[in-house]
Structure 1
């Protein structure tokens, strides 16, 4: 007869544990959580290293937001079963929710090896995103989408990663797919707006932001981005209003405060812009953009020393930022500190939107540090015609160093430049370049020669009109019966600073005498708004064909007794020819005109008349009107 032997004690305990686990899982699934927790704890009383009990108690602790307890339980569960990928996934989730992304990433890295689930890859992507590991983030969410192509959260987060990687087309595709699946996700529209804004597709970005805000109104960061879009669209009042809406939701958001400062500055509300930048820096004293906007506001107010201090602070916060270096350099030049400004001015070649492209020559750049004797140097023009006229003065100095000088200029200036001393070979841009050993952009020559406002080449004149053209123009003009004054009141309308440096003809003529003077128009292009004034002032003589090129313009200018002009190439041409030239300048002019002085170190024949308030020409024009009687008394009356 056979009789059953009693099971070993361990087997009996195992049966008891299994029964308790069955009861615990059943209670958990039925929502009887207190009862489930009691059963799991009873299991641990029998076996403190039971994986299922430790793991489920961790899950329940995480659901109650008892994150430290959950983390401890998951770690005990992993100690009990180091191959349980699910525990690593949940440990990663708990660490992420408790703000420990590094520890979370280590757990998810284990999980995707042991149990490569969607949850594990998603969690790893979220941890990488928190750590700004953008390429890895994109790869993790791509793995989620390989398994579940319609995973909306993964699509949105992959879009964010592509956005940070500047893969804007991929980001747009992710966001649009997420929207197609789930059209009510505000985050997808917000991300789409950010991607479109980065692509400068501004109307579409604005529409995406509006859709996101319609779904979820209280998004201060999104409102800030929407405001930045409006700013780029030149819709300044709307942009400022939108920034202010964002600040109602987040009054201490330093970035929004700083961006509002920039918008106020663009609206010429300089004092308010300064105050807003100061508010941003109270919140975040190291915010480079706020220091930059503070500096710009101070610059606009002509508080140059304070502006330079602000730009220096911005440079400390963002030492490699090109715009910051440019601002500090430009303001230092304007303030007359060329030792600081000229080296920083070289960053212009890295500045986005700079008016000249780097030439890409293989020959080395010369900045004064090497001997030029017996070598050929190419001096090449950059930026505008006035810049070339201004800085070509250095070519004879380069020749004196023993170099053969090749001077490449814009085609309209080729003839005029032949009058320059020093024997340079003058060629027009676009013509074949001769062989040369080194090169230097014209506007880098002040740095090469270590120029300062007190020490720069400023001959009385260094460019001259062609004698034959002068003779031809002189024959065309009526005999001089009164002093001749040449007028220029506006420059290139496309110039970024045109609104500040140009004025209506009527504004200029309001300060000038209506008799006793022969006026000549020295500008080729006349704006439509000025045509009625010209029609009403037949005493302003226009010689259209004498303004078709710089050679003929120089010949006409040669016949003038005085030139009154705003800051254009004609101002530089008059100064280079040694003509008496009165230059009307905006509140904060180009750096070459410096500040707080009526004379010009570049042009001995020039006299400067400056605005005292932004956009207000009344004060400098009053000075012109007051100075004219004395000039007229000594001006030639006949010829």
Structure 2
């Protein structure tokens, strides 16, 4: 007669369940274990094995109470404490897990699995050095399972030892080539080592072994982003989040990919989601990065401060906070942050580079150069460090070295080669009647400033074809040395060589030639002169430039602050084509300030209008370069951190002999600078009255 399930002995039932369990039939084994526990709630074997089954099924929350009950029923078995420790690690209860592993090792001192588990618990507690020591001890005692090597890799990577981590993951795969976690972790180490193509290959293998795994999809997104494939990276992060909407790293990666695509508001929203899910230091850091790209530096500094409160050892947050403080003009505090970052992460190229930017903010250009050289010593191909070194050298008047380093602009991150990069670069050699294509590359003021070099290029025998901004073409027409004038969209003529305009000083020698005045129609100048009032100092004012310029917040000045210049004997004229909305009321309410915008139909009209003025007061825009080229008396207002071309400290400039520089001191109000300009103009106003 067949024995019923209820009549079977509990040990026999457990043995039947265990056979199914070992065969991988978890669904068949579980009811048998539960049937035993229904009749015998403290049955040690059923409690332990059912707890182990639930852990294997990915349900550690159900496993832990069963394993704790097994320990209570019989605490003498080290392997049960070990299994409990593993389940507790899965539940992020690493402190309790450590105690479980310690009990296991006290019962069975040579239990390699408990030693490995203890290392995992320490890793979860961010005690990476201790974790590595524990895993190394397990290996010394003979443990050699793939999991040990994989977990060693995790500890090494957390300690910033990516090359050793990669070797550990390879050791894990040598023992189990079909180990998906080791392939996925290997990809992360390869990303750390900038071996992004190999990293992507490792994620493909991991996903082939475990399709749709959100963690591996996230790592794939990281690798794709490093390969500058942000659209594909974003798709990978989105697939990861479809599988696990609470995967914090994928939200963070999504924020980074959106930033790469210049979708900064969406990036901030993704970072906010990551922060809401995590609240940890990494999420605050991620949010700070998104805020920085939006130019919201005060908020970025606060977000990095929150990251550091959560994790004071986060070098990235110290570095990011330093960058935000640099943007906010708090350079001394920024330097302290970079010191902290470097103490936590020595050998990073970005930290000395960022320190150099803070030194530049303090106008300590010699110190800045030393920092940029330190960054280059770590990475000789670091284009941004070479570029910023060049800017500091130019500011110091080291023109030959500065313009040589200025060529690194084409290699900077995010700076694409110009459209003529496929043609040979002209380096100043004689051209013997051949066509030389010279082309504008930056702003209108840069083109006006560098136009002085065009006759020198023609003097080397070149037939100069100049490609410039469309708005400047009428002004440049008839300039000495230019044989052909082209708009920005015109096809380039056949040419033997090409040269970007900001490369002309390097090609022709660093000595600064005098400006070559543009041909201005005397009839137009006479018409302007006749139409403007006499008996007063005619003062041209240009208070602001292109609002999209990266440094515009430092250089543009509210129009109403120019009021002290408009005293008795002065007639002011706004000579700029665009004006900020906030400036319009002052313009409308000021009787001796005339708006010339309706009559400024182009640069030739502006040049004629300027030629009818007695003096020009302006900020650092194209008007300054045009007035200086025309040889007019120019008073240029400069921020504390002036552009390289204005050098340091001096009140004159070799670029424009008739220009006087008025520098704003650090934390000095613009009102004080304008007061000095007013004092300089007072004698002229008295003469004109």
If the length of structure 1 is used for normalisation, what is the TM-score? 0.79
1:307 to 2:360 alignment: no
1:243: how far off?
0.8
| Equivalent residues of 1:490, 1:502 under 8 A apart | yes
Task: Report what 2:542 is aligned to.
Answer: 488
Deviations 1:308-364 (A, max 9, x none): 22222222233222222221111211121112211111122233565x960225431
Structure 2 distance, partners of 1:104, 1:284, is: 22
Task: Report what 1:367 is aligned to.
Answer: 427
Q: How does 1:176-255 map to 2 (within 5 A)?
A: 176-217=238-279, 219-255=280-316
Task: Report what 2:211 is aligned to.
Answer: 149
1:341 to 2:402 alignment: yes
Task: Report what 1:9 is aligned to.
Answer: none
1:629 to 2:682 alignment: yes
Q: How does 1:590-629 map to 2 (within 5 A)?
A: 590-614=643-667, 616-629=669-682
Task: Report what 2:337 is aligned to.
Answer: 276
1:58: how far off?
5.5
| Equivalent residues of 2:184, 2:206 under 8 A apart | no
1:247: how far off?
0.9
Structure 1 distance, partners of 2:243, 2:464, is: 66
1:405 to 2:464 alignment: yes
Q: CA RMSD in A?
A: 3.4
- CA 285–105 in structure 1, closer or farther in 2 if over 3 Å, else same: closer
Task: Report what 2:412 is aligned to.
Answer: 351
1:321 to 2:382 alignment: yes
Structure 1 distance, partners of 2:567, 2:261, is: 53
Deviations 1:149-179 (A, max 9, x none): 3545444444444444455455444544444
Q: 1:470 aligns with which of 522, 525, 529?
A: 525
| Equivalent residues of 2:454, 2:481 under 8 A apart | yes
Task: Report what 2:93 is aligned to.
Answer: none
Task: Report what 2:512 is aligned to.
Answer: 456
2:617 partner SS:
strand
Q: 2:555 aligns with which of 501, 524, 531?
A: 501
2:512 partner SS:
coil
Structure 2 distance, partners of 1:538, 1:106, is: 79
Structure 2 distance, partners of 1:278, 1:101, is: 27
Structure 2 distance, partners of 1:520, 1:300, is: 34
1:541 to 2:601 alignment: no
2:391 partner SS:
helix
Deviations 1:351-408 (A, max 9, x none): 3565x9602254311122x222232212222212211111111111122222222222
| Equivalent residues of 1:74, 1:90 under 8 A apart | no
1:320 partner SS:
coil
- CA 284–557 in structure 1, closer or farther in 2 if over 3 Å, else same: same
**How many residues end up aligned between the 2 structures?**
570
Structure 2 distance, partners of 1:493, 1:477, is: 29
| Equivalent residues of 1:405, 1:424 under 8 A apart | yes
Task: Report what 2:34 is aligned to.
Answer: none
Task: Report what 1:263 is aligned to.
Answer: 324
Structure 1 distance, partners of 2:187, 2:422, is: 42
Structure 2 distance, partners of 1:60, 1:353, is: 49
Structure 1 distance, partners of 2:167, 2:596, is: 79
1:68: how far off?
5.3
- CA 391–269 in structure 1, closer or farther in 2 if over 3 Å, else same: same
1:503: how far off?
0.9
Structure 2 unmatched runs, 5+? 1-18, 23-43, 50-69, 80-109, 120-133, 157-163
Deviations 1:44-78 (A, max 9, x none): xxxxxxxxxxxx97656645667457546877xxx
Q: 2:584 aligns with which of 518, 521, 531?
A: 531
Structure 2 distance, partners of 1:158, 1:535, is: 58
Task: Report what 2:13 is aligned to.
Answer: none
| Equivalent residues of 2:600, 2:606 under 8 A apart | yes
| Equivalent residues of 1:381, 1:409 under 8 A apart | yes
1:405 partner SS:
strand
Structure 1 distance, partners of 2:136, 2:482, is: 82
Structure 1 unmatched runs, 5+? 1-21, 38-55, 76-86
Task: Report what 2:449 is aligned to.
Answer: 390
Structure 2 distance, partners of 1:156, 1:413, is: 49
| Equivalent residues of 1:122, 1:140 under 8 A apart | no
Task: Report what 2:574 is aligned to.
Answer: 521
Structure 2 distance, partners of 1:558, 1:472, is: 11
1:425 partner SS:
strand
Task: Report what 2:351 is aligned to.
Answer: 290
Task: Report what 1:570 is aligned to.
Answer: 623
Structure 2 distance, partners of 1:493, 1:98, is: 48
1:447 to 2:499 alignment: no
- CA 70–340 in structure 1, closer or farther in 2 if over 3 Å, else same: same
Task: Report what 1:82 is aligned to.
Answer: none
Structure 1 distance, partners of 2:587, 2:154, is: 73
| Equivalent residues of 2:520, 2:607 under 8 A apart | yes
Task: Report what 1:16 is aligned to.
Answer: none
- CA 71–438 in structure 1, closer or farther in 2 if over 3 Å, else same: same
